[in-house]
Chain A
Amino acid sequence: MKKHSTLMTTPFWRDKRVIPLLLQAIFAMIVILIGTIFLLNAVESMRQIGISFGYDFLSKMAQFDIGDKIVSFSSTDTYGKAFFVGILNTIRVAFIGIIFATILGFIVGVARLSNNWLARSVASVYVEVFRNTPLLVQIFIWFYAVFLSFPTIEKSLNSFGLFFFSNRGTVIPWFELTSSSFVWFLFLIAGLILSVIVWKIKLNQQVETGQNKYPFFWSIGSFISSLAIAWLITFELPLLLSIPEIVGRGFVGGYTIGPGFCALLVALVMYTASYIAEIVRGGILAVSKGQVEAAKALGLKSSTILRLIILPQAIRIIIPPLTSQYLNLIKNSSLAAAVAYPEIFGVGITILSQTGKSVEVISIVILVYLSMSLLTSLLMNIFNKYSQLVER
């Protein structure tokens, strides 16, 4: 760098290496300037009405309770922990939502291209209805018209005494950990790894020798045998089934999914899946027709063509727009306050109005959504890189 600058004869404002740098610096300056003005303005206005800026409120006692939660929380815990509970709730709905939206989206996307008239029409109607109505309206409809209209707990529907449907929540049988759960978990992981290794080895042998070495059965066998070892060691089942029953005003046992969570999850899944379906359809249509024709000419059946020819190629086109749908789903989960599901935004708003720390609370909420979105993007980018064509 230094050597270059001494050799330079043109003035720096005409130097092609400097001009872009200079422009960038000016742009950065403007951005920083605007940001600083906003920040100072906020600090100044807060000073005028005597509000102090700071995050020390996070360690103070929250004094409010949170209903639907995965970890324990009581009114004597701190605001910081309340945020944590909210973050977990957001992750819970976003994670489950993404999984179901992906599955449903792929099914509907494929169905839209099906040769079956009924499947194609149902899929089209579904996509057009859910894609073209506002999400908040859908959440309200699911909440008021569906989940709150379930019977009351006294008259709750139940199937086989295992599942209960009532307007205070849907209850499903759930598992309880036993003393040997951890050992089982270790063997489960070990079994999975082992089965993948065995599968690879047998598959390689099959490719080399040309004889069928049954890699699938080998891998299943090794998985089952590792679980059998776990059973021999512990002589206990890994999990106990907890079956729900109605006691007094509520359910005991099982796992209760609140109506707010149900409404939000179903609405997010249905809404996002309609977009994903279109992305999947676009991805499939983008695979050139010749590929399918060639596969048909080889005599492959249509499910095999979809699995081995179309989807691997379509997935490369699907992943980038799919990522933005995932991000949308995460951000849309903030509409939960309307149905009393305490995710990060809802909890944040409660804290905001109890403490008056609007700037601080909103900044935390922004940061949480930003980091969740960036993390999702990062994972999807890694997956994208993995699925791209290896070009030489």
Chain B
Amino acid sequence: MRRRLIALLSFLLVFSVVLAGCSEKEAKVTKSRLEVIKERGKVVGGVNADIPGFGYVESDGSYSGMDVDITKAIAAAVFGDATAVEFRPLSAEERFIAVQTGEVDVLARNTTLTTSRDASVGLAFAPVTFYDGQGMIVRKDSGIESLEDLEGARISVESGTTTELNLADQMRKLGISYEPVVFDSQDAAVAAYEQGSVDAYTTDRSALVSRRTTLSVPDDHVILSEVISKEPLAPSVKDGDSKWQGVVTWTVYTLIQAEEYGITQDNVDTFLDSEDPEIRRFLGVEGDLGEQLGLPKDFAVQVIKAVGNYGEVYNRHLGPDTIFDLERGLNSLWTEGGLHYSPPFR
């Protein structure tokens, strides 16, 4: 009797406290991530640590790569200081949790934009920064020339990626039986491939190009010409914060628009007294676009000064002067037959 009474009482107490907690929460208005970042004084970016050209830890511990530069550009837009940024190296598995929990402000880690990630994983994507496709690398002497030759092969892949799903889809479509060997890190997947434990390794083609250079004898390996899937890579933020999403989105557009105007890291100051009203608005000489976004007036100038325009970022990490020498292809501006196109700054 008494035992039951105590149980009931304790339950009621717990319940009332819980209800009180609930009503408190309803009343609280959530702050935009932008405010949090401004208070903190730096942007926390989730990046890759092992894909040269996109996100890579250099021997001195600094980060380099396209995704890294985009994160720096965001910091420059907010603070006018590209060094006000902290990087968190994330694995493919960790990345979404890191965004969901607010561990990182922005995720720029070779992440493919897909419907389900947008809708149910709780991410909000910024514009695509790199148009990629999935490819497959095999040993030259293996006699594998197309996907059909992979019957019965062992294929290594990184877990938690769209690559893993595309591989399953593609093989199902072609009716090929294979054995997926799923690793939790790219380094492990590549090591298994290099040692010959698996016949092929699959990931985005850009990453394959970059990983190929790190193999002991790059010329022994060949990337199959078939493109398995579309992989538009885009930075993302936590869903439900349109203000912060806007900042990231327009920082990316700034890079693209700057290239279209021909504004570079070196000549940006000469454009400040341009007569062109579009450019004056873009650089914040006229109008209040920056304020509308919750950023300084001249955020575009700061972004360009920090990392340059999109073309400069691309060339610095993947262009002809690098070991990768990747064709611009789809990643050219729309004016040159590519897909990068910025909406008007007005």
Contact = CB atoms under 8 A, between A and B. Distances in A.
Given A64-B165, A148-B195, A353-B93, A50 B122 contact: yes
Contacts of B239: 49-50
A370 interface: no
A1 B5 CA distance: 13
Interface in A45-70: 45-46, 48-52, 63-68
Contacts of B154: 67, 168, 250
B274 to A, nearest CB: 41
B120 A353 contact: no
Contacts of A67: 154, 179-182
Q: Which of A5, A63, A249 has the most CB of B within 10 A?
A: A249
A304 interface: no
A350 interface: yes
Interface in B163-213: 164-165, 167-169, 171-172, 178-185, 188-189, 191-192, 195-199
Q: Which of A5, A149, A168, A355 has the most CB of B within 10 A?
A: A168
B11 to A, nearest CB: 8
B240 A50 contact: yes
A51 B6 contact: no
A349 B185 CA distance: 12
Given A75-B168, A350-B182, A340 B122 contact: no
Contacts of B95: 353
Given A5-B1, A51-B122, A76-B172, A340 B10 contact: no
Given A67-B154, A350-B159, A149 B195 contact: yes
B71 interface: no
B7 A356 contact: no
A51 B184 contact: no
Interface stretch (A17-25, A234-242, A287-295): A17-25
A262 B25 CA distance: 51
A144 B160 CA distance: 22
Q: Which of A49, A50, A153, A346 has the most CB of B within 10 A?
A: A49
A144 B191 contact: yes
A2 B100 contact: no
Interface residues of B, number: 63
Interface stretch (B15-23, B54-62, B80-88, B314-322): B15-23
Nearest to A26: B10
Contacts of B156: 340
Contacts of A152: 196
A153 B139 CA distance: 14
B2 interface: yes
Contact of B14 (A36, A46, A50, A258): A36
Contact of A249 (B17, B180, B189, B199): B199
Contacts of A40: 18, 21-22
B30 interface: yes
B10 A28 contact: yes
Nearest to B154: A168
B323 interface: no
A167 interface: yes
Contacts of A358: 96-97, 100
Contacts of A68: 179
Contacts of B122: 46, 49-51, 356
Given A32-B14, A148-B192, A349-B159, A356 B117 contact: yes
A225 interface: no
Contacts of A258: 181
B217 to A, nearest CB: 15
A51 B2 contact: no
Given A40-B22, A44-B25, A337-B159, A66 B180 contact: yes
Nearest to B25: A44
Nearest to A34: B14
B160 A349 contact: yes
A29 interface: yes
Nearest to B139: A152
Contacts of B198: 168
A259 B197 CA distance: 8
Q: Which of A37, A74, A356 has the most CB of B within 10 A?
A: A356
Contacts of A149: 195
Given A338-B188, A358-B97, A353 B1 contact: no
Contacts of A144: 191, 195
Interface in A152-175: 152-153, 167-168
A2 B180 contact: no
B337 interface: no
B330 interface: no
A168 B153 CA distance: 10
Contact of B184 (A48, A148, A259, A349): A349
A346 B184 contact: yes
A342 B30 CA distance: 40
B201 to A, nearest CB: 12
Interface in A123-169: 144, 147-149, 152-153, 167-168
A68 B156 CA distance: 12
B10 A29 contact: yes
A31 B228 CA distance: 51
A33 B180 contact: no
Given A25-B6, A356-B117, A64 B164 contact: yes
A37 B17 CA distance: 9
Contacts of B171: 65
Given A64-B165, A167-B195, A353 B152 contact: no
B288 to A, nearest CB: 30
B258 interface: no
B14 A33 contact: yes
A346 to B, nearest CB: 7
B248 to A, nearest CB: 16
A22 B10 CA distance: 10
Given A147-B197, A349-B159, 4 more contacts: A148-B192, A167-B195, A167-B196, A353-B160
Give the 4 A-B residue pairs with the shortest CB-CB distance, closest first.
A353-B160, A356-B121, A75-B168, A49-B122
29 contacts: A1-B1, A26-B10, A28-B10, A32-B14, A37-B18, A48-B30, A64-B168, A67-B179, A75-B165, A75-B168, A76-B172, A148-B197, A167-B197, A168-B196, A250-B153, A337-B159, A338-B184, A339-B183, A349-B159, A349-B160, A352-B97, A353-B93, A353-B159, A354-B164, A356-B100, A356-B120, A356-B121, A356-B122, A358-B97
